[in-house]
Amino acid sequence: MKPYLTILLDSFRMLKARTIFWVTLGISLLVALIYLSIGFDEKGMSLFFGLSHFESDMFRRGTPQSETLYVAIFTKLIAEYWLSWIAVLLALVSCAAIFPEALQEGASGVVLTKKLSRFQVFVAKFVGSLLFVTLQVTLFVVIVFVALRWRVGSWNPSIFWYVPLILLVFTYLYSFMVVIAVKTKSVMTALILTLVLWAVSSFVGFIEGQIYSAIKMTERMEDSGKRMDVEARSAQTEEAEGEEALPSEEPEMKLEQEEYRSSSDANSMKTWHQRIVAAYALFPKTGRTMEIADRLLVVNGEKGSSKGTFMTIMMGMEMEEHDQGMSEEFVRVGEESADRHSKTYAIGTSVAFSVVMLALSAWIFCRKEI
Amino acid sequence: MSDYVLDLTGIRKTYRGGVEALKGINLQVPRGCIYGLLGPNGAGKSTMVKILTTLIRRSGGEGTMLGKPIGDRSALQKVGLLPEHAQFPDYLTGRQVIEFTAGLQDVPTSETRQRADSLLELVDMTEAQGRKMRGYSKGMKQRIGIAQALVNDPEIVFLDEPTDGVDPAGRRDFRLLMKRLREEGRTIFINTHILSELEPIVDRVAIISQGELLGEGILDDLRSEKPEFHIEFEGALSPATVESMEKTGLILNSGLITALTSRAADIQPVIDQLRREGLTLSRVELKTQSLEELFMGFVDQSNVAAPPPIPGTPVNPPAIPRS
């Protein structure tokens, strides 16, 4: 056990010795502090511990909107941008050198010629990297947890879902980075190729989601069009019953042509969607994994409130009935889109990707000649 | 228990691209000696140490280290290593490097502090122990490198170019340290191309060049293979004496006669003749080869005499007397 702990301790010391570690920690604490500085009182809300204040009936102490807003600042800004992207990026940069340095001539002789086998060294170094990220994210989420209690008066343990899920996102990307790192022993190559993978994976996921939403919207519009058409026809029939019957072949042909064109477009989109889904299955699903965290979050006693409920609470009250109906329609499509892949599928395929990458990198690491 | 801490047969290594770094090395290293593996740059010395410490895989051959097959982790736990161009984490202090290696080798925590103290004292780094490695000179890093190689109380210590970058005082300390480790019963395996470092302390040497073992044995035995008596005198020999001496194989230079023998009896007639001619003897000395001369002799012989190897033919080192 001691050799494992020695490697873990060394990984931590190595990270601690890097400027990027302190930069990441500093920015984390700054973001957490800014979040903590947002408060609510009887008249409205304040920023920077009261330095800036504005009055609001909706966002004041005790209203459900203020809790929703406060949680939304976390989910929509901090989690979506800081934790999902910038913090993961900084963690990747911090950990990028761990494996290439372990394989450098001169340094490798110190670690790889000892009691632990190469596989054991590999595991210890990988776990060390994960512990580092866990530490950083947990520290941040604990501050947010305390901030939520302080600012909106409720303990919200559901935000701790972000810890394992961000760790998963990091693992997907880091496992790929380790393959490149042990193969090339180049920090920069590993980092750049990992960022390329991340960008491609996010882009493919985004395109897949957009096509899915487009298909669903088309289907809904077709259903809605057909309903309206049936209603119009039945109204026409009712009118025609009292009048002389007129030949109606031409409009029916036009309708069939439009329906044919529309269904042809939808079929083409579906075919493309299936192809992209097949390709996307091979990629790590970073965005989808973070959406799971969103949906596991509890706000105002409801799970997944960061999407539909958030929209409803924040905007629904101010909308006209018709607009509200349209908004709800979009929200429903959005939620269907978010639910198009199960959690098991999103995490399962991504974990499978990571396992394959880790097996490959461990194999290379164990056989690498130095 | 085998008397050999290292017993290797036919060790070969061919790198990608077909470069043969080792061409079937046979080596036996007795316990408790200082063993020098000598060779020019690129001879295959570091490749040998890397194979023994699992940094690279061998292409062929077999062997044991401390009675276990090469690569056995339990054997490596009893091995100390100072790699060539060793790079220790520069964010650690000298003391932390020693403790780091102790941790990797599973040295009990209770013993680590005490061992670190005594090793720091041994390599004269007690005062500088709290400074980061990045602030050390090359010589100080090598001292810490040697200390960390000893922290697990190893039976065999591999030192790859240990005096590289070390100043003369450090080299003297290094030699004293090696002797002390030998007295403690450890086997020291030193890779070097700086022969003068090794000569005063080494017990056995192996000379390799271009992946082949050219010679191996006790240093004094190797040296005594080509002994010479040097007889220095003042004055000039008569032409008849010169002619007769040259016929018997003596080598004559101005004021110097070289006899290729180690037997004192063989040179008595020469001395008698010099006296008969009224010449003054200024010096009579039995000369043995320096390590450098021995090394260069083997390497030159190998470069001149060795025909190109026939593929598939085993390469055998010349027969050398063993202890």
pLDDT reported for residue B93 = 95
* Higher-pLDDT residue of A92, B309: A92
Q: Which residues of A touch B79 (CB under 8 A)?
A: 113
Interchain contact, B50 vs A117, CB within 8 Å: no
Q: Name the CA dihedral angle for B202, B208, B209, B210, rounded to a multiple of 10 degrees.
A: -140
Q: Please state, in angstroms and rounded to a whole number, the distance separating the CA atoms of residues A73 and B11.
A: 65
Q: Best mutation site among A113, A120, A369 for testing chain B: the one with the most B CBs within 10 Å?
A: A113
Interchain contact, A369 vs B55, CB within 8 Å: yes
Q: What is the mean pLDDT of residues B253-282?
A: 89
Q: In chain A, which residues touch B (CB < 8 A)?
A: 2-3, 5-7, 9-10, 13-14, 16-17, 104-118, 367, 369-370
Whether this prediction's pTM lies above 0.95 is answered by: no
Residue B317: pLDDT above 50? Answer: no
Interchain contact, A112 vs B55, CB within 8 Å: yes
Per domain, the residue ranges of chain B are: 4-222, 228-287
Reply yes or no on domain B4-222 having CATH 3.40.50.300.
Answer: yes
- Helix A88-95 to helix A162-184 angle (10° resolution) is 40
* Higher-pLDDT residue of B308, A188: A188
pLDDT reported for residue A248 = 52
Name the amino acid, one letter, at B16.
R
Contacts with A187 (C-beta within 8 Å, 6 or more apart), sequence order: A96, A97, A100, A181
Say if residues A150 and A143 touch (Cβ distance below 8 Å). Answer: no
pLDDT reported for residue A279 = 86
Backbone angles phi, psi at A153, to 5 degrees: 80, 15
> Which of A43, A40, A50, A44 shows the shortest CA–CA distance to A70?
A40
Question: Is residue B312 helix, strand or coil?
Answer: coil
Interchain contact, A14 vs B105, CB within 8 Å: no
Lowest average pLDDT, out of A24-38, A346-360, B71-85, B212-226, goes to: B212-226
* B292: its two tokens: 């450098």
Q: What is the mean pLDDT of residues B291-309?
A: 67
Lowest average pLDDT, out of B201-210, B261-270, B284-293, goes to: B284-293
* Higher-pLDDT residue of B56, A331: B56
Interchain contact, B83 vs A109, CB within 8 Å: yes
Q: What is the chain B residue with the closest CA to A112?
A: B55
Question: Is residue B230 helix, strand or coil?
Answer: strand
CB atoms within 10 A of CB B172: 12
ipTM: 0.76
pLDDT band at B320 (very low <50, low <70, confident <90, very high): very low
pLDDT reported for residue A331 = 65
Lowest average pLDDT, out of A2-16, A167-181, B87-101, B220-234, goes to: B220-234
pLDDT in tens, B46-80: 999 999 999 999 999 999 999 999 989 999 999 99
CB atoms within 10 A of CB A45: 21
Q: Please state, in angstroms and rounded to a whole number, the distance separating the CA atoms of residues A312 and A298.
A: 15
Interchain contact, B85 vs A106, CB within 8 Å: yes
Question: Is residue A43 helix, strand or coil?
Answer: coil
Q: What is the chain A residue with the closest CA to B149?
A: A110
